Amino acid sequence: GGGGGGGLRVRVRLSCVRVSVCPCRRLCCSPVRCVAPLCPPHLVRPRCYLYRKMIPGLVSAPGRVIAPDFIGFGRSDKLPQLSDYDHELHVATIVRLLDHLDLDSDITLVCQDWGGLTGLTLLSRYASRFSSVVIMNTGLPPQGQVSLRTKLNFLTWLGFVKLMGKDLPVGKVVAASLHTPDRKAHALAEAAYGAPFPDRSYRAGVAKWPLLVPLHRDAQVAPATLEASRFLEREWKGKTLIMFSDKCPVTRGLQDYFAHLIPAAKRIDVTGGGHFLQEDLGESLADRIASFVNDK
């Protein structure tokens, strides 16, 4: 639903609990039973719906999966203005969620897309809570080298977001990213991912998040991504799984950057998945993550 009233609702799954985010704001979320505990903020189209194909493959392991809809996305409340959203709001949302659920150790963080910026910032600031991390189709810009084609793909996407603003066709964007010829799958994705945004008044969060990507070192979010990069290279001692798909147009090549930062990481190059590899290959990804988490 839309923002307003006295608080914000964040749907994670099923029933809700209320969690303080910042003065005068609250968010609602609920835990899903699953792995170790596993917390996946995927963060560009941040809906727990994106992980629906993966969660069943993880429920056989001990622990829980926490799959939030971030503020401005999914079934969570939508703040009306682009200026309402920033990097620190999203980081604080996850911190408060973990505090409320009393998750203070042995967390596996699964990051995709904005998971690199928000999720790995969280990891660098609260390292003692995490035992392992799974990094998928993401980056820590402006660090990391990619091809000219990949740069142009991202800049084209960014220009499209700026042009469309709150008229961004969310469902069509996700559907277009799928690597399947199945028209029914495309239609389902368009309807499902578009459903939380019935009109432009709901889309400020969607329109803002891509604009926060730091393209240079003076950008607002750049200090956080630099901090995360340095942390991974110099301080991170937990387990790491790097899984990038070969068909992602905007992160292809960045798996090499993460492998350089974390030489001890396990690396799996995934064939056949696009940017939202959870949609294309969710079941097999879940099997690999479960095996990684359970491998002591």
Helix (H) or strand (E) holding 39, with range, is: strand 38-39
Longest dimension (CA), the chain: 49
246 an active-site residue? Answer: yes
Candidate list 84, 106, 157, 179, residue with the active-site label: 157
Q: From the candidates 69, 87, 275, 280, give the one annotated as an active-site residue.
A: 275
Q: Which amino acid, 13? A: R
What is d(CA 70, CA 62) in angstroms, rounded to the nearest whole number?
25
Residue 31 identity (one-letter amino acid): P
Active site residue 256: no
Distance CA 85, CA 10 (A): 15
236 is catalytic: no
Interatomic CA distance for residues 158 and 211, integer angstroms: 7
Separation of alpha carbons 134 and 119, rounded Å: 10
E strands in 6-138:
17-22, 25-29, 32-33, 38-39, 64-65, 107-113, 130-138
77, 113, 186, 280: the active-site residue: 113
Among the listed residues 161, 144, 152, the one whose alpha carbon sits nearest the alpha carbon of residue 244: 144
Tokens in use for 230?
């340095």
| Contact assessment for residue 171 and residue 203, using Cβ atoms and an 8 Å cutoff | no
94-124 burial, b at 16+ Cβ within 10 Å, e below that, comes to bbbbbeebebeeebbbbbbbbbbbbbbbbbb
The helix/strand count (H/E) of the chain reads as 10, 9
**Active-site residue, from 42, 114, 186, 236:** 114
Please report how many Cα atoms fall inside a 13 Å half-sphere around the Cα of residue 19, on the Cβ side: 27
Whether the CB-CB separation of 143 and 257 falls below 8 Å is answered with yes
- Residues with a known catalytic role: 113-114, 157, 246, 275
